[in-house]
Structure formats: C-alpha cells, structure tokens
C-alpha cells in the first residue's frame, strides 16, 4: 500500500485481528519493521501512533524512526469523547525522545 497508493499517512500499520495480537512481537520482527519504516521514509508516508489502540509497540516506533520514517499522532477515536485523546502517543514521544521535526504535519 505504501509503495502503490497515493497516501500521506498509513493508519494502524501494525493492527492485527484480536486473536493474533499476543503474537505481534513475533509477527512484526525487526526485519519486517525495518522494511515498513524504510519504504515509508522513501515514499514520504507517515506511520500512525494510535492512542486508542496503543499501537504500534515501542520497538516498532524505534525501528521506523531509525529507518527515517515520520510518525503521525492519532487518537484512533471511534466515539466523540475519544477525539483528540493523545495521552499514549504523547507519552511514547516523550519516552523515545522524538523531536517534533520527525512528526507528520500534513501537506500544503
């Protein structure tokens, strides 16, 4: 999708069906995460940090940043009360020391 579709941002890049979520670390191994990050960086596509889903896991964000990708903050809201809830993505930014210039700001 990142290579073929005209998108600016990929939401939920590591979302798995509920039954597979406990296997996320195994299914999204470092090589896979690095490829996602590299292709996103090459194509100028940001990868979402979803507040509601608390995805991706921290290692994924680290690998994507190392590959040169930009990240986007999203609340992942499915209800009006969840819109703009960015506590978890902001906490992740703080823990990883992510600079503002590594975040997606939209296109002009």
Give tens-digit pLDDT for 48-92.
Answer: 998 888 888 899 999 999 999 999 998 877 788 878 888 899 999
Residue 2 has pLDDT above 90, yes or no: no
What whole-number distance in Å separates Cα of residue 81 and Cα of residue 73? 17
Report pLDDT for 108.
57
What whole-number distance in Å separates Cα of residue 76 and Cα of residue 98? 20
Query: With bands split at pLDDT 50, 70 and 90, how would you rate the model's confidence at 30?
Result: very high
For the entire predicted model, the pTM comes to 0.87
């Amino acid at each position: 999708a990142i290579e073929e579709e005209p998108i600016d941002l990929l939401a939920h890049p590591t979302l798995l069906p509920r039954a597979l979520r406990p296997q996320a670390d195994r299914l999204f191994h470092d090589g896979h995460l690095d490829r996602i990050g590299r292709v996103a960086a090459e194509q100028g596509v940001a990868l979402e940090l979803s507040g509601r889903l608390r995805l991706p896991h921290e290692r994924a964000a680290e690998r994507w940043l190392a590959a040169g990708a930009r990240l986007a903050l999203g609340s992942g809201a499915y209800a009006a009360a969840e819109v703009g809830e960015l506590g978890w993505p902001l906490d992740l930014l703080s823990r990883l020391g992510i600079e503002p210039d590594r975040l997606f700001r939209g296109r002009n």
